[in-house]
Structure 1
Amino acid sequence: MSYPLSFSKAVLVVIFISDKIRQGQFEFLSTKSISEILNIPRPTLVKILQGLSIHGIIETKEGKQGGIRLLKKPSQITILDILNALETGKPLFQTTFNILAEGKRPDNAQKSISKLLTDAEQQMKAVLHQKTIEEILIEMND
């Protein structure tokens, strides 16, 4: 299993909205413009925005003056926050092996693999927790 492309696209959406704020555009951004500029199909974008909204990263407003804007400062949003908004409770690796071999050695092999993959995912999440949207915005100007 792997995280879907929508996670990477969600990071781009948050960066895009944050960058517009840095440019002095504080009003709501339309879903249509985000979809077109980032080349994200509307159904995918809606799913992304729902997850980000539920987790308090963005707010949405309906109507003619509506759209999307951030609820938090870019310095308060980590890449892990975005991952958690889209993939809540979903592991990166599947560790249900359903093998037919029984005994101490196959059991230990499964335990060893599960521990390795769980540790790898925890390390990845620790790295994602350290990177904020603000830092990415700064890197964009380098």
Structure 2
Amino acid sequence: MAYSAAFSQSISILAYIDISSKKEDCKYLSIKNISEQLSIPVPSIKRLISMLKRNGLLDTKAGVDGGLALSTDDSRISLFDIFNSIEGINNPLFKIYKDFDFKNFEENKSKAENILDKQEKALSKVELNMERNLKNISLKDIIDG
């Protein structure tokens, strides 16, 4: 079970935009510059930027002085916001197998059902804890670490 590198790449993109815009005293950074500095291909950055922008984490500006900027302060962007932008909120962390055939467990059918129920509850609890932890860590926490 592993998500793609897109989540961590997105954190890096947002952190780079935040750090560079403050350091260089410019609001917008180009995709080309981000790609070169982070060694992420331009098409990948464009795809990630599209998702981050759709979820309100990035602003874009066209033109010579254009590029990408954070849409809000880094302390107001949680890792959950980034994760949700990339992986989606309706995409569960664990895929639960529910097509269990109870025919072979006639005598212990209730025990088998109980095991599956407990498994689902345990994995749901793990997922909720992960979400809670991601909500409690901001982009600023990552940058200032």
- TM-score class normalised by the smaller sequence: 0.7 to 0.9
Among all aligned residue pairs of Structure 1 and Structure 2, give the percentage whose two residues are the same amino acid: 28
TM-score by length of 2: 0.86
Aligned residues: CA RMSD: 1.6
Shift of 1:19: 0.9
The equivalent of 1:121 in structure 2 is: 127
Residue 15 of structure 1 aligns to a residue whose secondary structure is helix
Q: Which runs of 5+ in 2 are unaligned?
A: 104-108
Partner of 1:37: 37
Q: Residues 48 and 86 of structure 2 are in contact (CA less than 8 Å); yes or no, is this contact kept in structure 1?
A: yes
Q: Which amino acid aligns with 2:144?
A: I
Q: How does 1:1-142 map to 2 (within 5 A)?
A: 1-88=1-88, 89-102=90-103, 103-139=109-145
Paired amino acid for 2:97: T
Question: 1:100–1:7: structure 2 CA closer, same or farther, 3 Å change rule?
Answer: same
Q: TM-score, normalised by structure 1?
A: 0.88
- Larger C-alpha radius of gyration, 1 or 2? 2
What do residues 32-77 of structure 1 show as CA deviations (whole Å, max 9, x unaligned)? 1111211112222112111110111101223332211111001111
